[in-house]
Amino acid sequence: MNIIKQIFYLANIGIFILYLSPCSLLGYLINKDCKLQPQFTGDFIISINHAIAFALLSLIGLNAFKKNLKQILIYLIFISIFLELCHLFIPERSFQFIDLFGNITGVILSYLIFRIIIYSRL
């Protein structure tokens, strides 16, 4: 297995841990308060933090699974929705559309960037 796939699998584990934890692990590490979510950037129509997280995960995934673009894209969109919906059931977490849109935007932007890079190499 190549190193990019291993990084993708580790990034998946990391994002699942961050999303499914009943408290904000980043909030605890940065603010010493697991109920206070750190805000690295301001939000607009979407959560920029979520968009960046899913953009990075998606770029790694798209690069790792170039030969299965359709399948990896479906997977990335699925987990971007699934993980945010899980917040409906996790104590101390809340579902927010702004976060969901950030997740999906991160996946879509990564796909567009990936396609531009692929086409520019032709």
Q: Provide φ and ψ at 79, rounded to 5°.
A: -70, -30
Q: Is the pLDDT assigned to residue 9 strictly greater than 80?
A: yes
Residue-wise pLDDT for 47-87, tens only, equals 888 899 999 999 999 999 998 999 999 999 999 999 999 98
pLDDT score, position 30: 60
- CA separation for the pair 24, 10 (Å, rounded): 19
Banded model confidence at residue 119, pLDDT cuts 50, 70, 90:
confident
The secondary structure element, H or E, covering residue 9 is helix 3-20
pLDDT score, position 31: 61
Question: pTM of the prediction?
Answer: 0.83
End-to-end CA distance of the chain: 26
State mean pLDDT over 92-108. Answer: 91
Residue-wise pLDDT for 10-41, tens only, equals 999 999 988 888 766 555 556 665 555 655 56
pLDDT score, position 15: 93
Among 43-47, 50-54, 97-101, which is the least confidently predicted range? 43-47
- CA separation for the pair 116, 90 (Å, rounded): 38
